[in-house]
A and B are shown apart, each in its own frame.
Chain A
Amino acid sequence: MIELLVAAFAAPLVGVAVTFTPKGREHALWVLLAAALATTGATIGALAAGPLDAPVAFLDRYFVADALSRLLAVTISVVFLGVALYTRHRVLTAPELRPYLVAFTRLSLPFLSASLAALLGQHLVLTWVFVEATTLTAAPLICHRADGDTAVAWRYLMFSTVGLGLVFLGFVCLGIAIEGAPGETRFLVDELGAAAARPSVWRRIGLALVILGYGTKLGLAPMYAWLPETYDAAPPSVTTLLAAIQTSVVFLALMRVLQVYRPLEPELTSYELVGLGMASMVLSTVHLVAATNYKRLLAYAAMNHNAVVAVGLGIGKAAIFGVVLYLTTNALVKAILFLACGNIKARYKTKSVAELRGLVDHMPYSGALFMLGTFALLGFAPFGSFLGEVLIMGGLMEANHAVMFIAFAVLFTVVFIATGRSLFPMIWGELPSKVDWRGESAGSILPTLVPLSLLLLIGVSIPSSIDTIFEHAALAMGGAR
């Protein structure tokens, strides 16, 4: 299993090295696809290989393969495969994008490697290093095309630097809190417990800063302004990398911190996460109601999802199974929606909700995918996001947060109405005048087919093997089924 995970990490880096050869440069698209396929195969193999209930630490215990990291590794590699297939489709249908292919390959493959390393990291500061590495590869991707918005990419970099700077400051404070502990203590999840258990004001300050910093990286209030503008301005493939992959990675990095510190500071963790989550839910809902651009609307929906996960994490034990399910399914939902958005934008050259009508008639494949993605986004059964939401709300009731439960339900209803009001006419509405659109090729659905299949598999039945994976993943994070 460890060999497979190392292979999954190394395959994208080998791909990058190949692009520096003349042949590799010429065939960058195939290099991208081959690396994505190899990584997906290796992560699926690693998930199936070993027992789920016993985490395996490796490389001097800096990394760990437990149920959740292996599950998320499969999720992000499947999403990345979708992005690679989408890139292939776009380059074949729009040859003017071909000059950007090499740069995209050289930046997106290290992004994938860094994401996998961060998922597998159990050293809290080393994980932070890999999260920072994902940021550094993502920032130039946002504006790698000639028409890219450099100012937006710069603001993304600044917000990320501040957020991750706060996280590092938090770790410095947590380091002060464990000064004087007997022996040498490393920031390893399975080693920190005894040293961290000593009560200290530095522990509270450090934990609060880490949560605030990672919250900034997740686009939670108060420092959320970068998220909607970045998701809107970036090319759809890059938006998918950020919304589906980076978000999962940052959440897992935060969950690793909570694994150690939640039992020691339950109230601080709960109040801060629930507070940040609820504030972000309110803000994203207000923006969602006012959105007139479908990509920005989806960006606010993504922010809303992050807020829901933050609230679930804040509640803890009772909601963790829902959090794991919601996190996994939402990565897939965002991949489907943002990649479908890319097809729609490429065809209609607009992001305005008002200018689009009758997608299922004019773009049968992308329209249908967009419709299914919207259903999943809104939490319709049988998609896994529905079950995740129900479990998180159940956790709220179980933890006696009745007021929070009501606020949650009201906000969900407003989001449902606002999103439906904007997106449903796009899907089924009729155009004022008949337009003769060219037929859409079936190749356009290939990128989203794999995430959609996985999403339906999780949602419709949850086969017992997948259910076991989720159960062990939740248990690894201190949750209960």
Chain B
Amino acid sequence: MILALVFFFIFAIPIFFASWRLMLASLGVQTLVLALVTLQHAHDLRHAFAAFELGVVRGVFVPTYLAHVARSSRTASQLEVLPGNLLHWTLAFALVVGSATFAAEVSLADVPRAFDVAASASEVLIGFFILSTQKQPLGQAIGALSLENGVVFLETRGAHHLEIPVQVGIAVVFVLLVLQLGWFLRRLAAEATPPGAPATNGAGEVL
């Protein structure tokens, strides 16, 4: 229960600070926390690999690499992943409440599972919400990664674990996906910003 709450708040609080650096860091910290918990219960190779993937790939590589791409593309530091107004915040809050209600419904008497499901569903739905409201590529990438983190949380907390070859396959395509996100972010920023122009928000809007 505690882990689910910690996981959710690490993600939810930075949304209010309108900074892509903080958002990327929060996504990394979320998976680092998950990696530590997985490592504590690692009694076979599958758990060890899962902890490695969560900690090194998702916790360190992804935020570091994307932050490097955003900096080198001269992206302005301010980025509201959710527009800062009452309407959007109310809708986001409604998604969290909806997730909790859904979790209580499907998990019945299993309270720890209900918390896990609520945390995961909230992040997935807010990820969708970010994707549907964001016009900036970096913001959309953060939305997609939030969705990914929500799914990974539920997967890690479940009792069914995939075989090592499949886990390796998933890790490889995830790394390739992140590298490709970086490639596209660079290219989109270069197309939107002529050489010597001031910093933009990634969609060509000068800040």
Contacts and interface: CB of A to CB of B under 8 A. Distances in A.
Nearest to A201: B106
A136 B158 contact: no
B170 to A, nearest CB: 6
A151 B191 CA distance: 10
A162 B130 CA distance: 12
A296 B107 CA distance: 46
Interface stretch (A178-186, A271-279, A324-332): A178-186
Most central of B173, B183, B187 by chain A CB within 10 Å: B173
Contacts of B169: 126, 129-130
B193 to A, nearest CB: 13
B187 A150 contact: yes
A259 interface: no
From DSSP, what is the main secondary structure of chain A's interface residues? Answer: helix
Contacts of B163: 186
B124 A169 contact: yes
B148 interface: yes
B173 A132 contact: yes
B158 A176 contact: yes
Nearest to A117: B169
B160 A125 contact: no
Contacts of B124: 169
Contacts of B187: 143, 150
From DSSP, what is the main secondary structure of chain B's interface residues? Answer: helix
A154 interface: yes
B188 A151 contact: yes
Given A150-B184, A154-B188, A161-B177, A178 B131 contact: no
B150 to A, nearest CB: 8
Interface string A187-207: 100000000000001100100
Interface in A202-243: 202, 205
Given A126-B166, A172-B154, A165 B180 contact: no
A62 interface: yes
Interface string B138-164: 001000100110110011001110110
B158 A158 contact: no
Contact of B147 (A133, A162, A175, A178): A162
Nearest to A200: B106
A133 B154 CA distance: 23
A7 interface: no
B184 A153 contact: yes
Nearest to B155: A172
Nearest to A62: B165
Given A123-B166, A154-B184, A154-B188, A175 B160 contact: yes
A386 interface: no
Interface of A: 62, 123, 125-126, 129-130, 132-133, 136, 139-140, 143, 150-151, 153-154, 157-158, 161-162, 165, 168-169, 172-173, 175-176, 178-180, 185-187, 201-202, 205
> 6 closest pairs, A vs B, by CB?
A175-B160, A129-B169, A179-B159, A132-B173, A172-B155, A169-B151
